[in-house]
Amino acid sequence: MQQELMDFIVDSQFLGISLASWMLAACVSIVSFVLVRSVIAYALKRIRTTNETPNGSFSHIAVLVLSGTSNTLLLLASLLIGVGFLDLPDRWLSRVSSLWFAVAALQVGLWANRAVALALMRYFRRAGSSETFQGSALATLSLWGAKVLLWVVVVLAMLSNMGVNITAFIASLGVGGIAIALAVQNILADVFASLSIAVDKPFEVGDFIVVGSLSGTVEHVGLKTTRIRSLGGEQIVMANAEMIGSTIQNYKRLQERRIVFGIGLTYDCSPAQAREVPRRMEKVICAQEKTRFDRAHFKSFGDSALEFEAVYIVLDPGYGTYMDIQQAINLGLMEEFAELGVSFAFPSQTLYVASLPEDISLQVQRQKPAPREPVSPQA
């Protein structure tokens, strides 16, 4: 019985190949898959042990890269190893060789794709904070460009191995690329603007900026648009090209504020009082913390007030801090001026009439009440 079974296995054929060869190929494929998976598992275990030691960043990346090994591609590679034990025609051998290269190229591409992404993430996190990295246009462009370049090389290598003339293919891609570039020139303008933002860094994620009439905190810098969270709470989305073409005020990089403010006093202020006012302004400003006095002067004679101007520096960039200081200065000036005996001016005009027409003069005199005679007390 066993002899008959052996003869059946040896003599039976499928697609011109003996059944014994098929069974051998299947066994080799299974053994190859199990062996490769075991080797990868052993390598991961050893690398994880190394990763527990200090400065094991490379080991950490290696673990993540090997963990991304595709079981599908490993199975295909194992099947191709088994097929190599079959007595195939020459035309099939060339196709199997091309499949070998495609499987290997895809797996290497997957490993390289993950390795490049992890390496760039690590680099940008070291260069700046993790929060900045999440929205960095340079990080986004670098990841996107590296992955596109990697997979273009992998695909071209596979096509070249299959016998495709990649020289003509690249030339056709160049012509097509010019046509596409003309069609999407607005999008490309935004993409290159994002590259300019990444290199020049006029602002970064987390900065409070003012662009024209819009203001808010930068939340994300993408390839085409920049997202800003306004003070009102809504999200503003602006094209990168429009951002670069506008004047940008970046308040996050403000180190100190220079404040210029003026006051007006009434014209009944005496010269001695006017000379004392700048000194009182300096006294009030210097009494505040986080300030540096610059100057205070009697500036000019205004239409309805004597105008004084003071300049000081707030040493803290916070807007709330500046408003607290300005409020304290305003209250201090009110107290000082009340003590000095001067009054704040308000817009007013005084009309001096040289003469009135005769008719109007008579009417004014008639409207004046007659003087009342004093009443003598009765005895």
Burial class (CB in 10 A: 0-12, 13-18, 19+), 378: exposed
Rounded to whole angstroms, what are the CA distances from 315 to 17, 221, 269?
Answer: 87, 30, 33
Residue 133 is predicted with a pLDDT of 43
* Residue in this structure with the two tokens 């700046």, named with its chain if needed: 128
Running along the chain, 379 residues long, what does each successive block of 10 average in pLDDT? 53 57 75 82 76 57 77 79 65 68 82 81 64 53 77 80 71 67 69 78 87 88 86 89 86 88 93 94 94 94 92 90 94 94 83 67 60 51
In the beta sheet, which residues pair with residue 292? 313
Tokens of 232: 């009102």
Residue 159 is predicted with a pLDDT of 77
Other CB atoms within 10 A of residue 377 CB: 5
Output the CA angle 115-121-124, nearest 5 degrees.
140
Question: What is the rounded CA–CA span in Å between residue 91 and residue 87?
Answer: 12
Q: At what angle do helices 271-286 and 319-340 cross, to 10 degrees?
A: 150
Reading phi first (left if > 0) and then psi (alpha if -120 to 50, else beta), residue 224 is in alpha
Strand order in the sheet with 225-230: 235-239, 225-230, 214-221, 208-211, 248-250
Reading phi first (left if > 0) and then psi (alpha if -120 to 50, else beta), residue 167 is in alpha
Q: In this structure, are residues 297 and 307 in contact, taking their beta carbons and an 8 Å threshold? A: no
- Listed in sequence order, the DSSP H helices in 225-318 are 240-244, 271-286
Q: Return the amino acid letter for 332.
A: G
Q: What is the dihedral of CA 194, 244, 221, 109, to 10 degrees?
A: 0
Q: What is the DSSP string of 38-76?
A: HHHHHHHHHHHHHHTSTT-HHHHHHHHHHHT--HHHHHH
Question: What is the rounded CA–CA span in Å between residue 152 and residue 166?
Answer: 12
Question: What is the rounded CA–CA span in Å between residue 85 and residue 67?
Answer: 30
SS3 state of residue 277: helix
Question: What is the rounded CA–CA span in Å between residue 201 and residue 219?
Answer: 15
Residue 339 is predicted with a pLDDT of 93
Q: Please, what are the domains in the chain?
A: 186-253 (2.30.30.60), 257-340 (3.30.70.100)
